């Protein structure tokens, strides 16, 4: 048996702790390869170490370029725990690629954990390990790049020769074993469907209307489609596929690596990368007719998307969808529970329920998102300004709570110390048995259980010790108000950091539809849960109840009869006529009369608020009629009530 050079000595004095990292690149690779890597590493260790060994495995499926994999974070955490003597991998690329692999080696060095990459002849116990790691990392990166170029070259050539036959849209039949586009044929039943399809679009129909017609006629999407029913997006994608005019395309998009994470988002490829191949046997629409329609659709929809107008860049290009302008990705619909998105009824600055867009919610009312953000910020500042000072009684209560925590911590430490003494005795007994009787599987299991119990108790004791002794320093309310003014007052809605702060200060925003007692448009009101605790640091827990408020914010401007109602009522109570009240307030007589009529309705109903919650889709409202569409089906998210629906 050969041995490690230098020799390995377990840091716990009994058992060698070894971490093995195994990885395969994709889910399409054979899972047995993970077991093969682990077997190689275990055999490598057992051939060089005769004592008891405990192996821990970290297995993953994913590209080595991905630096935000959970398994990589797990491996780094295991090394940083300091409980492993050795990390063994088949090669350095099994951990990750590029410079991050060298960083992992240095992490092992900091933790006094030896790392061995078998195929790369890398051992961090040697002085030359950095040079070996550098060459190994370069070799894996270069190999990946060369392989990628070969694949692209091969696919490009085979496509130009009619190969690379993968998936097709509706209307095409791909026989089993087809290797060329010459083997693919058109479905005769699709000819009249595409003729009607294009005729509808040429007549001005929308993609959604075409989808409704296809569903009504029981036309099923292609065999490669994920959905079983057509929708507007699917119709748009198929319409813009040039295969309908007899041209196959490839390389319309490409991937670009983000070096920070290693992920490769899809981006539009340069024009010189696009490949088109003439395939007349796959043509459904005459090329000239197809090109005319696509040009007409582009002109029709030119104002409906970013970056389509000449000279106007796409302001969201390269920005993740979740990084949106606040209050985007924050407000939820009180009817169905879905998020509100930017863009409603053709207004880019308005927000609309995602369920209403998908015909799953009848609440189609919208509001101005920019104005709503300002009103939310004003509500937070108002809640901060209205806070009372933390009086002496409350401070005494906080001190008493801290004293109780200190007493409880003392008792917890006594209990944990007693348990630790017992576990240490058990550990000493097990290690003594190993020394006297030799290693056995039963002793290994007992040793592992005892070490785990000790590690758990150590972590629990460290958490108790970390608890502060003194009561949290509760700042004056004026300091809290100043922090709120500084954080919220700048209203930097486009700043992602500001959005994250607002998510903390306003953990919940729900909007509900309301309507005036005397009718009118459906409007939205927001119910906010505001807490200023995140601005207080360690004192947040002690005062969370005092700095939390539930407020209601109107997301609309009231009409005249609502805005002037109280003043009109006051003037009428003072003996003024409606004509006199209207003249004094600068209103028309009709507006004053409608204000008084609304007041009488409120008095009869015993209400102090002229608005009432809308629990059913109202009739006659132009922007709340999603429920009347044929594709509507109310689907609230779990936890939201199935509000009554008026039949169409």
Does residue 216 sit within a domain?
yes
- Residue 520: what pLDDT? 84
In this structure, the answer to whether residues 96 and 186 fall within a common structural domain is: no
pLDDT at 617: 84
According to the 3-state scheme, what is the secondary structure of 460-484?
HHHHHHCCCCCCCCCCCHHHHHHHH
Same domain, 130 and 179: no
Peptide bond just before 327 cis, omega within 30 deg: yes
Q: Pick from 253, 271, 304: which residue ends a domain?
A: 304
Q: Place 392 in a pLDDT band, splitting at 50, 70 and 90.
A: low
Lowest mean pLDDT of 166-180, 499-513, 593-607, 608-622, name the range. Answer: 608-622
**pLDDT (0 to 100) of residue 646:** 43
pLDDT value of residue 350: 94
Give me the number of domains the chain comprises.
Answer: 3
What is the pLDDT, as a whole number, of residue 162? 92
Residues 6+ positions from 429 with CB-CB distance below 8 Å: none
- Across-strand partners of 499? none
Looking at residue 22, what is its pLDDT? 95
- Residue 358 has what pLDDT? 87
Q: Are residues 410 and 459 in the same domain?
A: yes
- End position of a domain, from candidates 93, 110, 145: 145
Q: CB–CB of 592/585 below 8 Å?
A: yes
Residues 370, 358: Cα–Cα separation, whole Å: 23
Q: Which of 292-306, 435-449, 527-541 has the lowest mean pLDDT?
A: 435-449
Of 127-131, 298-302, 460-464, give the lowest mean pLDDT range: 460-464
Name which residue leads in pLDDT, 266 or 219: 219
| Domain that residue 60 falls in | 16-145
Q: Is the pLDDT of residue 474 over 50?
A: yes
Q: Specify the pLDDT at position 630.
A: 82
35 within some domain: yes
Q: CA-to-CA distance for 356 and 361, rounded, in angstroms?
A: 5
Read off the pLDDT band of 539 (50, 70, 90).
low
Contact 207, 239 (CB under 8 A): yes
What is the pLDDT averaged over residues 22-38? 87
Q: What is the percent of the chain where pLDDT is above 70? A: 90
**What's the chain's average pLDDT?**
86
Whole-angstrom CA distances from 68 to 73, 78, 104, 258, 262 are 7, 16, 14, 11, 8
The CATH number that applies at residue 123 is: 3.40.50.1390
H helices of 440-587, in order, are 441-465, 477-488, 496-505, 540-543, 560-563, 565-573, 578-585
**What separation in angstroms does the CA of 95 have from each of 142, 259, 333, 575?**
17, 17, 44, 86
pLDDT given for residue 331 in this prediction: 94
Which of 145, 180, 200 is the endpoint of a domain? 145
- The answer as to whether 482 is a domain residue is no
> For position 192, what pLDDT does the model report?
95
Pairwise CA distance, residues 253 & 158, whole Å: 18
- Residue 1 has what pLDDT? 52
* Mean pLDDT of the 197-217 span: 93
The answer on 177 and 115 residing in a single domain is no
Domain identity same for 140 and 177 = no
Q: Classify residue 28: in a domain, yes or no.
A: yes
* End-to-end CA separation in angstroms for the chain: 83
Q: pLDDT band at 397, cuts 50/70/90? A: low
- Selected residue with higher pLDDT from 320 and 277: 277
pLDDT at position 27, please? 72
Q: Region 224-234: what's the mean pLDDT? A: 89
Same domain, 121 and 178: no
Per-residue model confidence (pLDDT) at position 295:
93
What would the two tokens of residue 536 be?
Answer: 């207080």
Contact between 284 and 186 under an 8 Å Cβ cutoff? The reply is yes
| Phi and psi angles of residue 88, each rounded to the nearest 5 degrees, phi first | -125, 130
Query: Is residue 92 domain-shared with residue 212, that is, in the same domain?
Result: no
Q: Residue 260: inside a domain, yes or no?
A: yes
SS3 label, residue 366: coil
pLDDT tens, position by position, 251-260: 998 888 888 8
Q: What pLDDT does 398 receive? A: 61
Confidence band (pLDDT; 50, 70, 90) for 285?
very high
Q: So what's the pLDDT on residue 235?
A: 95
The domain that holds 188 is classified in CATH as: 3.90.1750.20
Note the pLDDT tens digit of each residue in 557-578.
Answer: 999 999 999 999 999 999 888 8
Given the structure tokens 């009372």, which residue do they identify? Answer: 388
615 touches 644 (CB < 8 A): yes
pLDDT of residue 451: 76
Question: Does one domain contain both 114 and 176?
Answer: no
The pLDDT tens digits for 153-166 are: 999 999 999 999 99
Whether residue 291 sits in one domain with residue 198? yes
Report if residue 100 sits inside a domain.
yes
Do residues 292 and 185 both lie within one domain? yes
pLDDT grade, residue 401 (50/70/90)? low
My answer on whether 45 and 117 are in the same domain is yes
Kindly indicate the confidence band of residue 12, based on its pLDDT and cuts at 50, 70 and 90: confident
pLDDT surpassing 50 at residue 648: no
- The model's pLDDT over 406-430, given as tens digits with 9 standing for 90+, comes to 667 778 888 888 888 888 888 788 7
Flag whether pLDDT at 43 surpasses 50.
yes
Q: Is the pLDDT of residue 396 over 80?
A: no
pLDDT digits (tens, 9 = 90+) for 69-98: 999 999 999 999 998 999 999 999 999 988
Asked if the structure places residue 102 within a domain, the reply is: yes
Q: Write down the pLDDT at residue 6.
A: 85
Classify residue 341: in a domain, yes or no: no
Helix 392-437 vs helix 441-465: angle between axes, to the nearest 10 degrees?
160
| Burial degree of 21 (CB within 10 A; 0-12, 13-18, 19+) | buried
């Amino acid at each position: 048996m050969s041995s490690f050079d230098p020799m390995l000595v377990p840091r716990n004095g009994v058992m060698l702790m070894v971490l093995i990292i195994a990885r395969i690149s994709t889910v399409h690779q054979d899972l047995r390869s993970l077991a093969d890597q682990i077997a190689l590493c275990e055999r490598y260790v057992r051939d060089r170490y005769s004592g008891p060994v405990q192996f821990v495995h970290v297995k993953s499926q994913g590209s080595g370029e991905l630096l935000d994999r959970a398994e990589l974070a797990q491996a780094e955490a295991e090394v940083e725990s300091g409980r492993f003597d050795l990390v063994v991998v088949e090669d350095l690329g099994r951990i990750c690629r590029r410079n991050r692999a060298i960083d992992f080696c240095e992490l092992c060095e900091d933790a006094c954990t030896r790392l061995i990459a078998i195929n790369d002849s890398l051992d961090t116990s040697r002085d030359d390990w950095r040079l070996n790691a550098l060459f190994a990392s370069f070799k894996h990166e270069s190999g990946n790049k060369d392989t990628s170029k070969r694949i692209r070259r091969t696919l490009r050539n085979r496509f130009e020769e009619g190969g690379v036959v993968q998936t097709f849209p509706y209307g095409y039949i791909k026989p089993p074993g087809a290797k060329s586009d010459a083997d693919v044929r058109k479905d005769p039943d699709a000819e009249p469907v595409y003729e009607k399809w294009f005729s509808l679009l040429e007549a001005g129909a929308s993609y959604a209307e075409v989808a409704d017609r296809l569903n009504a006629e029981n036309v099923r999407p292609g065999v490669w489609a994920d959905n079983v029913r057509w929708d507007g997006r699917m119709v748009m994608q198929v319409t813009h596929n040039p295969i309908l005019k007899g041209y196959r395309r490839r390389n319309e998009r490409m991937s670009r690596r983000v070096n920070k994470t290693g992920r490769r988002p899809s981006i539009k490829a340069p024009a010189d990368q696009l490949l088109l191949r003439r395939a007349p046997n796959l043509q459904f629409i005459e090329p000239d007719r197809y090109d005319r329609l696509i040009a007409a659709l582009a002109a029709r929809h030119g104002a409906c998307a970013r970056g389509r107008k000449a000279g106007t860049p796409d302001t969201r290009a390269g920005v993740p969808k979740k990084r949106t302008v606040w209050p985007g990705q924050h407000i939820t619909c009180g009817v169905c529970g879905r998020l509100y998105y930017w863009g409603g009824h053709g207004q880019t600055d308005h927000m609309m329920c995602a369920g209403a867009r998908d015909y799953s919610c009848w609440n189609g009312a919208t509001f101005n998102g920019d104005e709503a953000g300002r009103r939310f910020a004003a509500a937070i500042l108002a809640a901060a300004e209205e806070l009372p000072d933390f009086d002496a009684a409350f401070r005494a209560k906080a001190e008493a709570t801290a004293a109780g925590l200190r007493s409880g911590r003392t008792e917890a430490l006594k209990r944990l110390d007693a348990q630790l003494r017992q576990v240490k005795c058990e550990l000493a007994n097990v290690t003594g048995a190993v020394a006297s009787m030799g290693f056995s599987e039963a002793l290994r299991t007992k040793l592992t259980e005892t070490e785990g119990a000790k590690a758990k108790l150590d972590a629990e004791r460290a958490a108790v010790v970390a608890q502060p002794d003194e009561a949290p320093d509760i700042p004056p309310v004026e300091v809290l108000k100043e922090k709120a003014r500084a954080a919220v007052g700048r209203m930097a809605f486009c700043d992602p950091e500001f959005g994250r702060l607002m998510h903390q200060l306003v953990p919940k925003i729900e909007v509900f539809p309301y309507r005036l007692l005397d009718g009118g448009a459906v409007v939205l009101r927001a119910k906010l849960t505001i807490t200023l605790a995140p601005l207080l640091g360690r004192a947040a827990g002690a005062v969370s109840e005092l700095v939390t408020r539930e407020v209601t914010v109107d997301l609309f401007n009231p009409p005249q009869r609502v805005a002037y109602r109280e003043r009109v009522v006051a003037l009428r109570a003072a003996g003024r006529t409606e004509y006199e009240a209207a003249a004094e307030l600068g209103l028309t007589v009709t507006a004053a009369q409608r204000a008084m009529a609304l007041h009488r309705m409120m008095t009869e109903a015993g209400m102090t608020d002229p608005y009432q919650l809308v629990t059913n889709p109202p009739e006659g409202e132009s922007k709340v009629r999603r429920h009347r569409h044929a594709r509507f089906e109310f689907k609230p998210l779990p936890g939201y009530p199935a509000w009554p629906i008026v039949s169409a």
